């Protein structure tokens, strides 16, 4: 797998992750504010578009890999033969060429696909199938309350785009003993987690070695994507939905929400926290 080099035309069309725009404050002062960018991003597999999502134009190779993994299009990063980020005037195409086995699997899935949603349930045609899509996770670590608090603080400190724009979500990966968090940001919370999944896969970091840390509420889709990563813990500053808790319980994931400083609430698999 490799990324193509951007041509001079593509560099001109490439989009920044943020931009400065004029604003008028309530005190009638005209100045500038840094704002997050978003644009259409198309996921194109073997020449056919599967989904078009609005996303922050940053870390897009990670996004393509992570989306492919968490949506079940590939089972591991080695099933991607080639990946090209192709900026255009109307948006950005992420052109993914799959190895034969993954390509055949996707063709079969397309026969059933009603409409891509980027929600973790693409191509599912029944409620029973939706339940079957939940992946079991083996928890291999246990976190202390101090580590949970520290992971939230470190994620906040690592949100470079979020600090400048106040408009993006972040997903981080906390591994006990690791010097740094792996962090990805996006205007979409699902996108941020997909980018994180791709970054971990590209770096060969096993999901079971740490915990997924989120700045958003915990929905069922985020639990499903965490399970696809293989992480046994998911921690967020906001509360989960009831279905997210039931899904985490079924998947074997310790779900921690409403994490503020050293205070938090554990909603599933309590033994995952020391």
Exposure string over 166-186, b if 16+ CB within 10 A, otherwise e: ebbbbbbbbbeeeeebbbbbb
39 is catalytic: no
> In degrees, to the nearest 5, what angle opens at C-alpha 182 toward C-alphas 178 and 188?
155
- Helix, strand or coil for residue 254? strand
Query: Using CA of residue 232, residue 121, residue 87, residue 106, what is the dihedral sign?
Result: positive
Look-up of token digits 């074997």: 252
Query: Using CA of residue 49, residue 15, residue 174, residue 268, what is the dihedral sign?
Result: negative
Give Cα 110 to chain centroid, integer Å. Answer: 23
Supply 50's token pair: 């599967």
CA separation for the pair 228, 223 (Å, rounded): 9
Catalytic residue (one of 6, 39, 119, 167): 119
Query: Using CA of residue 100, residue 3, residue 203, residue 55, what is the dihedral sign?
Result: negative
Residues belonging to the active site:
119
């Amino acid at each position: 797998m490799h990324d193509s080099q951007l041509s001079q035309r593509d560099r001109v069309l490439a989009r920044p992750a943020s931009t400065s725009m004029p604003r008028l404050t309530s005190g009638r002062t005209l100045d500038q504010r840094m704002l997050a960018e978003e644009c259409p991003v198309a996921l194109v597999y073997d020449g056919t578009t599967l989904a078009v999502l609005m996303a922050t134009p940053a870390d897009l190779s990670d996004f393509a890999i992570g989306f492919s993994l968490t949506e079940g299009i590939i089972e591991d990063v080695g099933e991607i033969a080639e990946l090209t980020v192709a900026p255009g005037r109307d948006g950005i195409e992420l052109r993914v060429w799959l190895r034969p086995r993954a390509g055949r699997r996707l063709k079969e899935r397309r026969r059933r696909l009603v409409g891509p949603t980027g929600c973790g349930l693409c191509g599912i045609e029944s409620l029973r199938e939706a339940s079957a899509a939940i992946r079991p996770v083996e928890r291999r670590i246990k976190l202390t309350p101090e580590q949970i608090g520290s992971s939230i603080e470190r994620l906040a400190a690592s949100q470079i785009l979020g600090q400048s724009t106040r408009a993006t979500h972040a997903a981080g990966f906390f591994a006990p003993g690791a010097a740094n968090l792996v962090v990805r940001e996006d205007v979409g919370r699902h996108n941020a987690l997909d980018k994180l999944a791709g970054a971990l896969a590209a770096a060969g970091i096993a999901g079971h070695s740490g915990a997924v840390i989120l700045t958003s509420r915990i929905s069922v889709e985020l639990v499903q994507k965490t399970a696809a990563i293989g992480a046994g813990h998911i921690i967020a500053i906001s509360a989960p939905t009831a279905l997210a808790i039931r899904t985490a319980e079924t998947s074997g994931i310790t779900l921690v929400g409403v994490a503020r400083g050293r205070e938090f609430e554990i909603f599933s698999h309590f033994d995952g926290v020391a």
